[in-house]
Amino acid sequence: MGKGLFITGTGTDVGKTFVTGLIVKKLHESGRKSAYFKAAVSGNERGVDGKLIPGDPLHVKSVSGIPQPLSEMCPYIYERAVSPHLAARLEGNPVNMERVVAEYHSLLDKYDSVTMEGSGGILCPIRRDEQFVLLEDVILALHLPCLIVADAGLGTINSVVLTCEYMKARKIPVKGILFNRFHAGDLMEEDNREMCELMAGVPVLACIAENDRNLMFDADALAALYE
C-alpha cells in the first residue's frame, strides 16, 4: 500500500504544478514507484482530436519522467480557465467525491507514493450545486498531510500565515512550506523565509529558483513526509 501527500498553494499561479513536478521527479529518480493525481483541472486546451488535454498532469509527467498513464492522473478536466465549481456549471460533469476517493485509493494499490495537487489555493471550491465541496473536503476525506507552495516575493508573509492558520483550524496537517521563485541572497526573500517560519510555526523545507530542474531536498526525507 502506497502513501500520499497533498500539495496546495497560497493562491493561483504560485507554481504548484512546477514544484509538484520536481517533487515527483525526485521520488521517481530515487527509485520509488511514484504517481501523480489531481481531482480537477481547469483551463485546458483541446488536441487535434477535439479532446481536452489535462495540462497540469501532462507537465508533471513530462518533467518527472514517470511512466504512469495520463488517463490515471485526473478524472475531471475542464476547458474554461475558472474554478472547477464554475467550470462544471458551464460545461457539466461536476466532481463526484466518491469517484475521486476511489481513483486515489486505486493508485495507492499500485504505487509507492501518490502526490496529489490541489486546484488554486486551499479555499478553492470544487463543486457547488446540490452539493458544496471545497478543496479541504478532499484533503480530509483522503486523510492527507500537506505541503504549501508559496511565491518567495513580496506579500508572501501574509498569504503563508493566513493559509497555515486556516489549515490548522480545519485540522489539516501542514508538513512544511516550499518557497518558489526564490533568489538566494535577496534580503527581502531571505527575511520572508525567516518570518514565515516564525509566524506560521511551519518550516520552509526547500527554496526553488525559477529555472531549477531539481528539488534540493533529500529524497528519503521527502518520502518520509508521505502518509
Other Cβ atoms less than 10 A from the Cβ of 134: the count is 17
* Lookup: cell for 88: 462544471
CA 48 to chain centre: 28
Cα distances (Å, whole numbers) of residue 143 to 4, 15, 79, 209: 9, 24, 29, 30
DSSP type of residue 217: S
H-only helix segments in the chain: 16-29, 55-64, 84-91, 97-108, 135-142, 156-169, 187-200, 219-223
Active site residue 61: no
3-state secondary structure at position 220: helix
Specify whether the CB–CB gap between 6 and 139 falls below 8 A.
Answer: yes
User: Pick the catalytic residue: 16, 25, 38, 61?
Assistant: 38
Q: How far apart are CA 19 and CA 38, in angstroms?
A: 14
Can you tell me the distance from the alpha carbon of 155 to that of 153, in angstroms, rounded to the nearest whole number?
A: 6
Instruction: Produce one character per residue of 73-108: b if its CB has 16 or more CB atoms within 10 Å, e if not.
Output: bbbbbbeeebbbbebbeebeebbebeebeeebeebb
- Positions annotated as catalytic residues are 38
